[in-house]
Amino acid sequence: MKKVVHVAVGVIENGRGEVYVTKRLDHQHQGGKWEFPGGKVEDGESLLHALDRELSEEIGINVVAAEPLVLVEHDYGDKAVKLDVWLVRGFVGQPKGLEGQEGRWVHARDLDSLTFPDANGPIIKAVQALY
Ligand SMILES: Nc1nc2c([nH]c(=O)n2[C@H]2C[C@H](O)[C@@H](COP(=O)(O)OP(=O)(O)OP(=O)(O)O)O2)c(=O)[nH]1
Ligand SMILES: [Mg+2]
């Protein structure tokens, strides 16, 4: 059976109906598409620790308050992922792409105008249902 890659993902919101998205680098899996920042959970690591570590590495924030939003399993054929998505309502720092990736705040209603990986459909629905 194919190994499923477990990913901690953060939907960071700013209290004004906007969420922070970054663009995956061209050489990455699903490169060139927008994403919610996050990355692989390491062996033995808790989800919240993975979330905080990845958001710190990728966009320079630390998580203060997060709650589970949605769990998405998706098989891309070349790779299967389990996205553990958290709504991040409290954080320290100002998000910015630290790995050369583009980043921007986008209003929840405008998420449909950006291209995300196929797995992200249920995430976008869950975000839009909040507003
Ligand atoms: N972070 C993130 N990953 C996503 C999203 N949607 C989606 O299909 N993915 C997939 C793409 C990748 O196959 C996987 C996440 O891996 P990643 O590349 O972010 O992992 P990582 O940060 O640990 O980076 P790496 O150094 O191992 O490449 O999940 C999303 O919205 N955010
Ligand atoms: Mg990542």
The interface predicted TM-score (ipTM) is: 0.97
- Would you call 14 helix, strand, or coil by DSSP? coil
Query: Domain 4-128, CATH 3.40.50.720 — does that match?
Result: no
Write the pLDDT tens digit of every residue in 90-117.
999 999 999 999 999 999 999 999 999 9
Q: Looking at the whole model, is its pTM more than 0.95? A: yes
Distance 29 CA to ligand 1 centre (A): 7
- CA 55 vs CA 9, 43, 77: distances in Å: 9, 18, 27
Question: What's the angle, vertex CA 13, arms to CA 11 and CA 14, rounded to 5?
Answer: 160
Q: Is 29 in the pocket of ligand 1 (CB under 6 A)?
A: yes
Interatomic CA distance for residues 91 and 116, integer angstroms: 24
